Amino acid sequence: MTILMNDATNANVAILQRTNELFQLTQKRVATGKKVFGAADDATRYKMSETMLGRGRQLSDINNNVSLGLSTLDATDKTLKNMVGLLESAQTLIRRAQAEGAAGLRSASATANLSSSTVVTGVVVGSKFSVTSDTGKNFTYTFNSTTVTWGNVVDALNSANIGITAEFVPSTTANQTNLRFVSNNDKDFTFDAVTDENVMDDLTGLTTPTGQVFNPANLFATGIAAPAANEKGFTVSYGGQVTGNVGGGVTGATAIAAGTTLTFMDGTGGIRTLSYGAATTLTQVITDITAMGAGIKAELVNQTGGAAGPLQFRMRNMNGSDMQILSGTGAFAAAGAVGFPGITVGYASPLSSNNALRLAYGKQYDAIIVNLDLLVQNNPVQNGRNLLTGQNMNVVMDEFAGNPLTITGINITAAGTLTLAQAGSSWTSDQNIQTSATQANQALINIRDFQAQFATFNSYIKSRYDLNKAYQGDLNTQGDELVSSDTSEESANLMALQTRQQFAVQALTIGNQNEQSLLKLLS
């Protein structure tokens, strides 16, 4: 069916259609903030905008690659820092090993695995642990419970300040510690006979240069009972010592005949002579030598650690020098009851070189070298290249696809690049330890050089990353501004179009009303 419209109506409809089109376009501009939606709207602006926005997207992709490079460099730097920490720990072990051998110690170490938390086994309330220095100072620990630890005993001994200290030191056996007793006053010391053998049997492996055999059951008291006649304790001695005839053994009551003389060198190099016009006993001889204050210790010892002795008369130099018998008559003649047959000089023993502890430090040093290689192999790069195994990494720095920045990796190995040898098992000489020290020092210098080398790249790439990010923001802003609409202007246009739309609707309504009036007149 055909609808007839006059010219005015057609004009009003056309105005409404155009107004609606403009209204929709203006609404779209206000809603999106854009004025140019395609090349048809403004070819020049649209092309410039797309070019800038495209470069911005490219820079975003470039920065993803740059960010991966930065992550790789950051991970590499952290690995190198950990390697520096390990090498500094290695240097500490070297210094400790050097210190152990710098000056010998008067010491004795148990080989049993003991720590501060190890409970002293087999004791009863009242059991004792007693140590006496050759200076005459004594420490006695009386157990008040059966759960006392070696740490409790060590703390008490070290607090007593008698010139003897105890410490837990690394064992040559992995993950174990030994208990070491050290003289700090250049004097020998004795684990006294009143000590409970159940305490001492924890200290397996104690030795002394004098040759006395460590056998707790025959050297120390049983429980809280008094020590037996042959239980004379265990002396850690480094000074020279001379032992009299063994035979069936001697006691303090052994007779010393009248006319007996003994001439010996004292602890300061002077000559001392004992002369007995009347018969006496060995106990008196021991008392007389002690009263001289000559630096010589006279004592009865169970040298063999046997159950029944035999006890022997021993003279030793407490000052650490040789012990020399110059002459003897009567009971002290070569064939006498307490003579010194054919042995007139007892040479001092070299102080402890602490090789066991040095080798324990050496084991830890070797473990550090292994860990250095493990750190390199497990460098936690994020989908990047492991620069520490010699892999190179290319980093594209801009959107123009120019020559990428190449970061050359370094194939770091402990034995190769760092020239570190696992020499801990040879740390029994100062020269070998010094060789390890030289290697560790050079390795530390090399690692820090590698850090500086990679840090230069890190700084440059970070600067480029920040620049790319700034460029990306500028390009996105400028690209958007080229096609953006003026919100204020478009809002005003929207108001004007709404008004025009209302006027057009009113004009169309008036035109229709006139047509209706004319039809009424004709009807």
pLDDT of residue 519: 54
| 3 state SS for 178-209 | EEEEEECCCCCEEECCCCEHHHHCCCCCCCCC
Measured CA to CA, the distance from residue 301 to residue 241 in angstroms comes to 12
Looking up tokens 């690659």, which residue turns up?
65
pLDDT of residue 258: 94
Quick: pLDDT tens for 168-181.
988 877 778 899 99
Question: How far from 491 is each of 24, 25, 28, 290, 319, CA to CA, in Å?
Answer: 12, 12, 11, 117, 107
Instruction: Report which residue type is found at 353.
Output: S
Instruction: Report which residue type is found at 310.
Output: P
Helix (H) or strand (E) holding 359: helix 355-377
Examine residue 515 and state whether it is found in any structural domain, yes or no: no
Same domain, 296 and 282: yes
Quick: pLDDT tens for 442-495.
999 999 999 988 888 777 777 666 665 666 665 566 655 554 555 566 566 656
Same domain, 364 and 342: no
Same domain, 399 and 451: yes
Same domain, 207 and 260: no
Quick: pLDDT tens for 241-255.
998 876 678 999 999
pLDDT of residue 513: 60
User: What integer is the mean pLDDT of 197-201?
Assistant: 97
Examine residue 520 and state whether it is found in any structural domain, yes or no: no
Examine residue 125 and state whether it is found in any structural domain, yes or no: yes
Same domain, 82 and 66: yes
pLDDT of residue 1: 44
How high is the mean pLDDT of the chain? 82
Same domain, 333 and 251: yes
In the chain, the number of structural domains is: 3
When pLDDT is cut at 50, 70 and 90, the band that residue 211 belongs to is confident
Examine residue 452 and state whether it is found in any structural domain, yes or no: yes
Look at residue 107 and tell me whether its pLDDT is greater than 50. yes
pTM given for the model: 0.62
Look at residue 6 and tell me whether its pLDDT is greater than 60. no
User: What integer is the mean pLDDT of 11-39?
Assistant: 60
Same domain, 304 and 404: no
Dihedral sign from CA coordinates of 108, 114, 119, 122: negative
Residue ending a domain, among 303, 320, 352, is 352
CATH code at position 459 = 1.20.1330.10
Examine residue 38 and state whether it is found in any structural domain, yes or no: no
Measured CA to CA, the distance from residue 124 to residue 142 in angstroms comes to 10
Instruction: Report which residue type is found at 360.
Output: A
Same domain, 231 and 247: no
Same domain, 271 and 232: no
Same domain, 475 and 449: yes
User: Residue 320 sits in which domain range?
Assistant: 239-352
| 3 state SS for 385-421 | CCCCECCCEEECCCCCCCCCEEECCCECCCCCCCCCC
Percent of the chain with pLDDT over 70: 72
Residue ending a domain, among 301, 334, 352, is 352
- Give the CA dihedral 419, 422, 424, 427, nearest 10 degrees: -50
Measured CA to CA, the distance from residue 206 to residue 183 in angstroms comes to 15
Same domain, 339 and 374: no
pLDDT of residue 4: 47
Is residue 100 within 8 Å of residue 358, measured between CB atoms?
A: yes
Examine residue 52 and state whether it is found in any structural domain, yes or no: no
Measured CA to CA, the distance from residue 434 to residue 442 in angstroms comes to 12
Quick: pLDDT tens for 278-316.
999 999 999 999 999 899 999 999 988 888 778 999 999
Tokens linked to 377: 């192999």
Closest CA to 30 of 501, 499, 494, 478: 494
Q: Rg of the Cα trace of the chain?
A: 49
When pLDDT is cut at 50, 70 and 90, the band that residue 214 belongs to is very high
Examine residue 507 and state whether it is found in any structural domain, yes or no: no
Residue ending a domain, among 200, 215, 237, is 237
Same domain, 132 and 214: yes
pLDDT of residue 436: 94
Q: Which of 115-119, 180-184, 343-347 has the weakest average pLDDT?
A: 343-347
Examine residue 496 and state whether it is found in any structural domain, yes or no: no
User: What integer is the mean pLDDT of 410-423?
Assistant: 91
